[in-house]
Structure 1
Amino acid sequence: MTLAEAARGRDNNFHLIRFLAALAVLYGHCYPLAGGGAPPLADWLGIDIGSVAVDVFFVTSGFLVTASLRDRPGVRAFVWARVLRIYPALWGVVLLTVAVLGPLLTTRPAAAYWADPGVVDYLIKCASLWGGIAIHLPGVFEANPYPAAVNGSLWTLPYELRMYAILALLGIVVQRLGRRRQGVLTGAVALIAGVAGGTMLVRHFFHTDAGYFARFAWMFFCGACLQMAAARVPLGWSGLLAGGGVLALASLQRDVFFVAYVLLLGYLVVALAHVPGGVIRRFNRVGDCSYGVYLYAFPVQQTVVALLPGITPVGLLAVSAPLTVALAGLSWICVERRALAFKGRMDVERGMATEGSMR
């Protein structure tokens, strides 16, 4: 079986993988936010579970978003779909943070809180993701073990948008190439992935900072490459188990693990998304709450720490995880699912326009 054959339709494990990845980010944050130091395995492997989870997000995003670009009527529809996926839920958490959480937990008088320019700065930067994000709100979480950071998870979203922008620019360039479009797009994403992955490996062994852009570009465009070459990618339990076994053996030495991790993570993620089946596919009935978990986890955790001083990382996990999942469920039902309905409407309108222009 090939990846292309397995990836037909939407019956896969991506919802479950992303949900577990979002919970892994929450778990990884429990240690620094509760003043407990680095999460388990970070010193051994050189990478913590939260960082692995973020890489999983970028791989899955590259794989799925590239299919969206390839299959949609045009780049404008692709961009609109990305806007609907990122911004409505983001605006929800930003508004709740600024207008509800901040005034309730700030140590400053209400008038001083609202008069502080930091409130507007946080609102504009975090709601737009333009030029990075703001971290602080006046007087909020300043006494926490991880002081003043309101929603540290948002820092990866500008990188996500940059990946979308690069992919959209590629789409604009190749959209008039006709039958050559698929080959050119495949070559372009492979080139970007190769440069980014090579940069990660070279800088790792020369002990220089590869930067987050190279790391995220490799993960995203590795997923994109797997999507574009899906018809030639073999998939099955043998490949999944072999890849997992190699990664497990590589964990005995940190540098070897890093190379195996960089080279194998993308394949393992898409294999886990398509090979295991059966009862776990029922998770798809729940909906896609992963983005909501990612958005709400950090401020929920900081709030719990502020209200329960001295809480342990395990205690923080036990209290914050159910609260975060509940908020994520509300975000999915009340905001995200409704926003995504507009994506389908534009696809229909674009398809009708294209069909009309061909008559």
Structure 2
Amino acid sequence: MTKPARPAPLPGLRVDKRHFNALDLSRLVASFAVLFWHYQHFFVPPVGYGFHVDREVLTPFYHPLRWLFDYGHVAVEYFWAVSGFVFAHVYLADSTAHRRFWIARVARLWPLHLLTLVLVAGLQGLYTHINGTAFIYHEQDWKHFLLSIPLAHYWGWQHNQSFNGPSWSLSTEILAYAAFWVLLPALRRAPLMVALPVAVVVLRLFFLGWPDEPVLTCIGYFFLGTSIYGAALRGWLTLPVLVAASVACVAAGWIAATRYHGEDATILAGTFAVFFATLAIDLADRGERLAIGRKLGDASYGIYLWHFPLQVALVLVIDATLGSRAIASQPAFLLFFLALAVAAGFASHRWIERPAQKAVLRLAGRWRAAA
């Protein structure tokens, strides 16, 4: 029995380019940047919040890789912007998107999220039993665990990051997904004219200091990514325009950093400088020479969610066997950790994420058929 053919894309809502390989590859690079930012966790002893790590003294390769160690966290904003663009590319032209959107999100995100959540809960329980306090993320209670299950643990009800801490960005992104799903009919009518005002208003509220700033930032970056896709649909994003936009963002970021000392504005400008440059590379890659980027980008989600459980496990082993974490200052250990996290990301995608995703979609199909 053959599967029914998927309906043809809605006209005028998908750009001619089928895959954005450089954009996919950039997701792997962004997840790699987060590893450098969180590497400092290895040097945090069993204490509460507020411990300062002297990265310049303790981390190997600090000076040549200073930007990654000090600013690797800004890759999260880049993830959000890319998500907005990719969601527009995937869902605007899909007439079945509104119906299948959430089951596709559940199948893609939740299996690995729930697995790493339970694993971190166990590892943190062991670490707390040994040291009397949790490792890095100290909100290890039933409230935060139950909020984490539906990825609602960073919607404003939390005391701080908890359990698999990096998943906080997924929690905020769920709300961006919800806004995208609600606005999907309007986005199809006028992608740019709907997405851009949403992004501008939400980011304006963020810069004004409204509560729940991470949620506002996420939604703002996400819909800026969506609005850029809307501009692409109008044929505005030619190679010269993308290069000029990237250079303009670099200049804006430099002015924001040096004249106004505005960190948030600098991150915003820098994020989209990289974003426009990556799109320019994709546009220039007419021969699909970067097709490998599709497969490499698939590992980014696993790298992002696995690296903290790996850190907790490694710290437990180091504390039990060596009694000192000085080994983390060795270049070989940094390379080992990076390689382990990347290997975990690729293995996770192949043997955990894809099979689980197919199983969830298969189960959902059976439920739909029964209904």
Give the TM-score, by structure 1 length: 0.71
The residue that corresponds to 1:96 in the other structure is 119
Match of 2:290, SS state, is helix
* Alignment partner of 2:200 out of 190, 194, 197: 194
Task: Tell me, in whole angstroms, the C-alpha distance in 2 between the residues paired with 1:102 and 1:350.
Answer: 37
Task: Tell me, in whole angstroms, the C-alpha distance in 1 between the residues paired with 2:271 and 2:356.
Answer: 31
Aligned-pair CA distance for 1:13: 2.1
The residue that corresponds to 2:307 in the other structure is 297
Aligned-pair CA distance for 1:243: 3.7
The answer on whether the counterparts of 1:290 and 1:328 sit within 8 Å (CA) in structure 2 is yes
Aligned-pair CA distance for 1:301: 2.6
The answer on whether the counterparts of 1:63 and 1:226 sit within 8 Å (CA) in structure 2 is yes
The residue that corresponds to 2:183 in the other structure is 170
Task: Tell me, in whole angstroms, the C-alpha distance in 2 between the residues paired with 1:325 and 1:348.
Answer: 33
Task: Tell me, in whole angstroms, the C-alpha distance in 2 between the residues paired with 1:202 and 1:293.
Answer: 34
Aligned-pair CA distance for 1:295: 0.5
The code of the aligned residue for 1:128 comes to P
C-alpha distance after superposition, 1:55-104 (max 9, x if no partner): 110011111123333224142311111111210111121232234x3465
Aligned-pair CA distance for 1:234: 3.3
The code of the aligned residue for 1:194 comes to V
The residue that corresponds to 1:309 in the other structure is 325
The code of the aligned residue for 2:24 comes to H
How is 1:14-33 mapped onto 2 (pairs within 5 angstroms)?
Answer: 14-31=23-40, 33=42
**Is 1:153 aligned with 2:166?**
yes
**Is 1:215 aligned with 2:217?**
yes
**Residues 314 and 246 of structure 1: CA distance in aligned 2, closer, same or farther (over 3 Å):** farther
Task: Tell me, in whole angstroms, the C-alpha distance in 2 between the residues paired with 1:219 and 1:283.
Answer: 23
Moved more, 188-197 or 157-166: 188-197
**Residues 129 and 289 of structure 1: CA distance in aligned 2, closer, same or farther (over 3 Å):** same
The residue that corresponds to 2:46 in the other structure is none
How is 1:1-359 mapped onto 2 (pairs within 5 angstroms)?
Answer: 8-31=17-40, 33-34=42-43, 35-37=53-55, 48-70=70-92, 71-99=94-122, 101-102=123-124, 105-108=127-130, 118=140, 120-121=142-143, 123-132=145-154, 150-171=163-184, 174=185, 182-184=188-190, 186-201=192-207, 211-250=213-252, 252-253=254-255, 254=257, 255=260, 259=265, 261-263=267-269, 265-266=271-272, 268-269=274-275, 271-273=277-279, 274-275=282-283, 277=285, 279-286=289-296, 288-306=298-316, 307=318, 309-310=325-326, 311-312=328-329, 317-341=334-358
Task: Tell me, in whole angstroms, the C-alpha distance in 2 between the residues paired with 1:57 and 1:334.
Answer: 23
Task: Tell me, in whole angstroms, the C-alpha distance in 1 between the residues paired with 2:330 and 2:163.
Answer: 18
**Residues 333 and 259 of structure 1: CA distance in aligned 2, closer, same or farther (over 3 Å):** same
The code of the aligned residue for 2:223 comes to F
Aligned-pair CA distance for 1:331: 1.5
**Residues 123 and 334 of structure 1: CA distance in aligned 2, closer, same or farther (over 3 Å):** farther
The answer on whether the counterparts of 1:95 and 1:123 sit within 8 Å (CA) in structure 2 is no
The answer on whether the counterparts of 1:289 and 1:329 sit within 8 Å (CA) in structure 2 is yes
The code of the aligned residue for 2:81 comes to V
Moved more, 66-75 or 221-230: 66-75
What percent of counterpart residues are identical?
Answer: 23
**Residues 259 and 154 of structure 1: CA distance in aligned 2, closer, same or farther (over 3 Å):** closer
The code of the aligned residue for 1:312 comes to S
Q: Give the structure with the higher percent helix.
A: 1
The answer on whether the counterparts of 1:31 and 1:313 sit within 8 Å (CA) in structure 2 is no
Task: Tell me, in whole angstroms, the C-alpha distance in 2 between the residues paired with 1:266 and 1:342.
Answer: 36
The answer on whether the counterparts of 2:249 and 2:272 sit within 8 Å (CA) in structure 1 is no
**Residues 182 and 131 of structure 1: CA distance in aligned 2, closer, same or farther (over 3 Å):** same
Task: Tell me, in whole angstroms, the C-alpha distance in 2 between the residues paired with 1:200 and 1:181.
Answer: 23
**Residues 276 and 283 of structure 1: CA distance in aligned 2, closer, same or farther (over 3 Å):** same
Query: Relative contact order (alpha carbons < 8 A, sep ≥ 6): 1 or 2 greater?
Result: 1
**Residues 98 and 297 of structure 1: CA distance in aligned 2, closer, same or farther (over 3 Å):** same
Moved more, 259-268 or 67-76: 259-268
Give the TM-score, by structure 2 length: 0.69
The answer on whether the counterparts of 1:72 and 1:347 sit within 8 Å (CA) in structure 2 is no
Moved more, 126-135 or 295-304: 126-135
Task: Tell me, in whole angstroms, the C-alpha distance in 2 between the residues paired with 1:135 and 1:170.
Answer: 27
Match of 2:21, SS state, is coil
Task: Tell me, in whole angstroms, the C-alpha distance in 2 between the residues paired with 1:209 and 1:313.
Answer: 41
Match of 1:275, SS state, is helix
Task: Tell me, in whole angstroms, the C-alpha distance in 2 between the residues paired with 1:339 and 1:327.
Answer: 16
Match of 1:300, SS state, is helix
